[in-house]
Amino acid sequence: MADKDPIAFYFDIFSPFAYLASHRIDAIATRYGRTTDWRPVLVGITVLKVMGMKPLMTYPLKGPYLRRDAERLAQMWNVPFQFHGLKGHHSLNAMRAYVWLKQSDPALAKRFAQAMYRHLWVDNQDITQPEDVMVVAAKLGIDTTELRAAITSDAIKNALKHDVEGAINKGVFGVPFFIADDEPFFGCDHLPMLEHWLEHGRWKTA
């Protein structure tokens, strides 16, 4: 399968489930001789604006279940994780930073995304303001002066907008979302289906 396209992994640092999936997707891809392409999306656009829904964690009954589910998955997969108590936070600046970094160094961009995930979902630190992003970027040796200028530039704002629109055109409605060979998979609970596809390349195996 070395000639196959990378598995598209659509993620938003805002999402706890995308954080959990970020600990699994690269290993799954490697196991089947594939690579990954981490692609940014904003759940504030796909869920709130396009689908007209509220954040899932705010729904009665469903919200508490999802919270419990995330905690169970983290324990099953041995992933450090704890819910934060932040209110009014968002990932816009962090995702813009990812877009800028990916343009020149995809590997560094991925490390940055992973570090931002830890900042929010392990250390429970805010990611909203540019200063929050710079704290994480500086630890990776990223030039924060250049990064600060980039995330406020029209070019990067438009680049992220383009990426989000591209994701929506692909049918991405939430995160984590995976596309392999035009087969879409939503959510951590569909990773076994993704693995089945990567192994067999078809659904009916008998």
Give residue 126's pLDDT.
Answer: 98
Domains belonging to the chain, first-starting first, are 7-200 (3.40.30.10)
Q: Which residue has the higher pLDDT, 45 or 114?
A: 114
The stretch 173-191 carries a mean pLDDT of: 97
Residue 3 has pLDDT above 70, yes or no: yes
Contacts of 183 (CB under 8 A, 6+ apart): 194, 197
For a pLDDT cut of 70, what percent of the chain falls above it? Answer: 96
Residue 54 has pLDDT above 50, yes or no: yes
Residue 11 has pLDDT above 90, yes or no: yes
206/184 Cα distance (integer angstroms): 22
Cα separation values, 160 from 79, 155, 192, Å? 28, 9, 30
Q: How far is CA 125 from the centre of its chain?
A: 17
27/25 Cα distance (integer angstroms): 6
The stretch 171-181 carries a mean pLDDT of: 96
Residue 75 has pLDDT above 60, yes or no: yes
Give residue 57's pLDDT.
Answer: 74
Give residue 1's pLDDT.
Answer: 42
pLDDT digits (tens, 9 = 90+) for 113-155: 999 999 999 999 999 999 999 999 999 999 999 999 999 999 9
Contact 1, 33 (CB under 8 A): yes
Give residue 109's pLDDT.
Answer: 98
Contacts of 83 (CB under 8 A, 6+ apart): 16, 67, 70, 71
Contact 144, 137 (CB under 8 A): yes
Give residue 71's pLDDT.
Answer: 97
104/101 Cα distance (integer angstroms): 6
Residue 48 has pLDDT above 70, yes or no: no
Give residue 155's pLDDT.
Answer: 98
The stretch 6-20 carries a mean pLDDT of: 98
